[in-house]
Chain A
Amino acid sequence: MVDSVFLALSVLTIGSAIVALEIRSLIYGSIALMITLSGVAGFFLLLDAPFVAMFQLSVYVGSIAVLILFTVMLVRRELIFNKVEDKRRRYAGIGLMLALMLGMGTIIIGSGLKTMDTNSPMVDYKKIGEDFLTYYSPALIVMALILASSITGAMTLARREDAIDDQRAD
Chain B
Amino acid sequence: MTNALIDFILVSVALLAIGIYGMAVKRNAIRMLFGIEMIINSANLNLVAFSRYIPNSQGQTLALFSIAIAAAEVAVGLALVIVAYRMYRNIDIADFRSLKG
Contact = CB atoms under 8 A, between A and B. Distances in A.
A166 interface: no
Interface in B1-44: 1-11, 13-22, 24-28, 30-31, 33-35, 37-38, 41, 44
A18 B19 CA distance: 9
Interface string A14-33: 10011011000010011001
Interface of B, secondary structure class, is helix
A47 B78 contact: no
Interface in A24-47: 26, 29-30, 33, 36-37, 40, 43-44, 46-47
B38 A158 contact: no
A126 to B, nearest CB: 10
Given A36-B38, A96-B24, A114-B4, A104 B30 contact: no
Place the interface of chain B in its size category: 35 or more
B30 to A, nearest CB: 6
B53 A118 contact: yes
A119 B44 CA distance: 22
Nearest to A7: B7
Given A33-B37, A76-B89, A104-B13, A116 B6 contact: yes
Contacts of A141: none
Contacts of B17: 97-98, 100-101, 104
A52 B64 contact: yes
B69 to A, nearest CB: 7
Contacts of B72: 146-147, 150-151
Given A104-B17, A143-B68, 7 more contacts: A10-B7, A44-B45, A49-B51, A49-B60, A71-B78, A94-B25, A114-B4
14 contacts: A13-B15, A14-B11, A40-B41, A52-B48, A59-B71, A64-B37, A64-B70, A71-B78, A84-B92, A116-B5, A117-B5, A118-B52, A131-B58, A131-B61
Interface of B: 1-11, 13-22, 24-28, 30-31, 33-35, 37-38, 41, 44-45, 48-49, 51-53, 55-58, 60-61, 63-65, 67-76, 78-83, 85-86, 89-92, 94
